Every structure is written in C-alpha cells, then in structure tokens.
C-alpha cells in the first residue's frame, strides 16, 4: 500500500541533532518514528513533539534488531561526546557496528533508503588539510577514542558493502563539529563547556596551548544538509562532508564566548588529552556541488542562539553548602 506521508525513522532521535531533525521532518509533513534508548538523549528534547499526530517515540536499543515499516532511515544513534562514548567503550562500538548491521538489515527488508551519520573522526589526526572525502584518514586503532572512530569507520564499511552486495540505497554523511541548543551542558564538548563555564563565571578550560583549530557548524545548517543528502538521486552514496569550513582556534572560540556572555571568566590551560587532533576543517566542495549546500549561520549568530538556550539551563555557580569544607566536630 502506498502511504500518503513519507514514513521516516530517526535513530538517536531524542539526542541533540536527532531532536532537531525530527522537528524539521515533522514540520515537512513526514510521519516520524523516533527511536532512542535515552543514553544521552532526553525526553525534554522532544517533549514539544509529543502529541503531534505524525510523531511517535519508541524506547529501543539499536544493538537489537528492529522491525518497523518505513521509507527512510536516518541512523544517528551513538553517543557523540568523548565523555559519553568513553564511559562504556564496548557499548559504543556495539552501537556503531551492531546498530549499523541492524538498521541496514531493516533497510534491506523494507527497501528503505538509509543515511549514516558518520563523523570527521574517521579522518583521525589528519595529515591532509582541509579534509577531503578521498582522504583515508590517520586513526589510532587502539587508543581511547578508537571505540568511536573505528566504530564509525566500520559502520561506513558496512554501508558500502550493503550497497555493493545488496544494492541498498545508502547515503554516508561525515559530520564535522556541530553545536546549538539541546547540547548537554556537561558532556565535555568544547562549545557547550565554554558557554557553561562562561555563564557560571568559572575558569574556561583549554587543553594544550589552545592553538588547535576546529570548525563549528550550527545545528540548523547541519540538519538542512542531512535532509538534502537523503534527497539526492539514488546513484549518490557519499561519503560527503558536512561542516562549516570557518576555522577557529580554541583561544579564539573562548574569546568570542567570553565577549558574547559578558563573562569575567579567565582561560586556564590543561594538558592535551591523548589523540586529540591538531586541526579539523572540512572541504565542502562536494556538498556544494552534489547537495547545493553550504552553511549560512555565522559563528556569532549561532553562538548567540546557543548561549540564549544555556542561559535558561545554567545557573551561575554558587557554592553548595554540602561542598563546603567540614567543620571539625
């Protein structure tokens, strides 16, 4: 039976990116099924969609098979911040690898089109700058970030094998650092961490000398890119980079956030964690030509919207009585 509305499954739909994607797809008239185990996602992120006639939520772990009827699958389920993906690294690899196998199996059964949320981490500590999709990367297979990086690399392999072997319609998207409202305040990602520290007037923690660079894409731009990638003709598989090529050092980012929050926070420097890449910047020529996509939100605009969100979430630090040094009895 032909369905009036496109039925779209979003795994990881209660997370940061997933919740924005669900919102956009519901707004575009799709029937959206959000699947999440709420490991890092929250019901709050999607609460505004509850009760919408074309939105459903299913608590489910993608490391187990799923049987549903859908036309398209966006596979986003996977913790994305080092704090969360390193907490249970074996589960992180399972989520990427078993999750990909289960979702690809589902796509094969119901003949759905499937998009994989891959990552710039597949490039590791890159020897090529900016990173182009043809670059194979420089990844440590046995380090503390490997559960995430290699899990995502293996998921890409599975996508391309299902495409070669079973002619599945696949789209692999390599997402670079993305930020915006609904990031978790405590997940150690640089934008949210700096904003929370600035709003609380705490020291802003930079790792290494703070000269390492990243590019920052605002969530609305990224979601637009995901939908455009899904809508490409069947011959287009990717991988395609999505990110904002504007490059900023950690010090520059901290300075912008301090200025935009009018904070009195100072910068402090700590040792660089293992395998932290020196620089990251996407080459987005392919996204521009194949998807007609380029980011439109400037770092200042995006930070402004993100800071407004965190202001409502984060109270200035006050020393809690339980944390005061104990008086001698």
Residues lying near ligand NAD in the complex (CB under 6 A) = 11-12, 14-18, 36-41, 61-63, 76-80, 95, 99, 117, 119, 175, 177-178
β-partners of residue 179 are 218
- Do strands 247-249 and 213-215 pair parallel, antiparallel, or not at all (unpaired)? antiparallel
Compute the least distance from the CB of residue 39 to ligand NAD, in Å.
4
Sign of CA dihedral 77, 277, 190, 230: negative
Closest separation between CB of residue 2 and ligand NAD, Å? 29
Q: Which is nearer to ligand NAD, 178 or 306 (CB)?
A: 178
Shortest approach of ligand NAD to residue 15 CB, angstroms? 2
Point out the catalytic residue in the list 148, 162, 179, 218.
Answer: 148
Which of residues 169 and 189 has its CB atom nearest to ligand NAD in the complex? Answer: 189
Contacts with 2 (C-beta within 8 Å, 6 or more apart), sequence order? none
Tokens of 186: 């405590």
Q: Please, what is the minimum distance in Å from the beta carbon of residue 184 to ligand NAD?
A: 7
Tell me the three state secondary structure of residue 316: coil
| Cα 96 to Cα 112: distance, rounded to the nearest angstrom | 19
Which is closer to ligand NAD, CB of 99 or CB of 295?
A: 99
Q: Which DSSP state fits 282? A: B
Q: Which is nearer to ligand NAD, 95 or 263 (CB)?
A: 95
The reply to whether omega before 238 is within 30° of 0 (cis) is no
39 is catalytic: no
Q: Give the phi and the psi of residue 128 in degrees, each rounded to 5.
A: -115, 135
Interatomic CA distance for residues 70 and 30, integer angstroms: 11
C-alpha atoms less than 13 angstroms from C-alpha of 147 in its C-beta half-sphere: 19
Residues 6 or more apart from 51 whose CB is under 8 A from it? none
Name the H helices within the chain: 16-27, 43-46, 82-85, 89-110, 146-166, 190-200, 219-230, 250-261, 285-286, 299-311
Nearer to ligand NAD, 31 or 221 (CB): 221
CB of 80 to ligand NAD, least distance (A): 3
Please state the closest distance from residue 78 (CB atom) to ligand NAD, in A. 4
Q: Identify the three-state secondary structure at position 322.
A: helix
Q: Is 135 exposed, middle or buried (0-12, 13-18, 19+ CB in 10 A)?
A: middle
Report the residue number, 22 or 263, with the smaller CB distance to ligand NAD. 22
Minimum CB–partner distance for residue 278 and ligand NAD (Å): 18
Nearer to ligand NAD, 8 or 265 (CB): 8
Torsion of the alpha carbons at 277, 281, 285 and 286, rounded to the nearest 10: 40
Q: Provide the annotated active-site residues.
A: 148
């Amino acid at each position: 039976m032909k369905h009036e509305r496109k039925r779209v499954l979003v795994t990881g739909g209660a997370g940061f990116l997933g919740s924005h994607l669900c919102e956009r797809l519901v707004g575009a008239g799709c029937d959206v099924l959000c699947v999440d185990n709420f490991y890092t996602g929250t019901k709050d992120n999607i609460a505004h969609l509850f009760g919408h006639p074309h939105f459903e939520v299913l608590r489910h772990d993608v490391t187990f098979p799923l049987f549903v009827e859908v036309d398209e699958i966006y596979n986003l389920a996977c913790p994305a911040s080092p704090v969360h993906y390193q907490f249970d690294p074996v589960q992180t690899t399972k989520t990427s690898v078993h999750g990909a196998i289960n979702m690809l199996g589902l796509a094969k059964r119901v003949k759905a089109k499937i998009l994989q949320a891959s990552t710039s981490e597949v490039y590791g500590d890159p020897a090529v700058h900016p990173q182009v999709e043809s670059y194979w990367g420089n990844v440590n297979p046995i380090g503390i970030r490997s559960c995430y990086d290699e899990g995502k690399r293996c998921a890409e392999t599975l996508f391309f094998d299902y495409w070669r072997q079973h002619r599945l319609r696949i789209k692999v998207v390599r997402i670079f650092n993305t930020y915006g409202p609904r990031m978790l305040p405590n997940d150690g990602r640089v934008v949210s961490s700096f904003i929370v520290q600035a709003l609380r007037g705490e020291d802003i923690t930079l790792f290494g000398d703070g000269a390492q660079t990243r590019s920052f894409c605002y969530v609305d731009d990224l979601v637009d890119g995901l939908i455009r990638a899904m809508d490409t003709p069947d011959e287009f598989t990717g991988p395609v980079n999505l990110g904002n090529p504007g490059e900023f050092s950690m010090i520059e980012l901290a300075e912008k956030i301090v200025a935009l929050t009018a904070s009195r926070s100072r910068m402090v420097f700590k040792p660089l964690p293992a395998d932290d890449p020196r620089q990251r910047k996407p080459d987005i020529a392919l996204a521009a030509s194949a998807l007609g996509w380029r980011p439109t939100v400037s770092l200042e605009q995006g930070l402004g919207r993100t800071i407004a969100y965190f202001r409502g979430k984060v109270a200035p630090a006050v020393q809690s009585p339980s944390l005061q040094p104990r008086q001698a009895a």
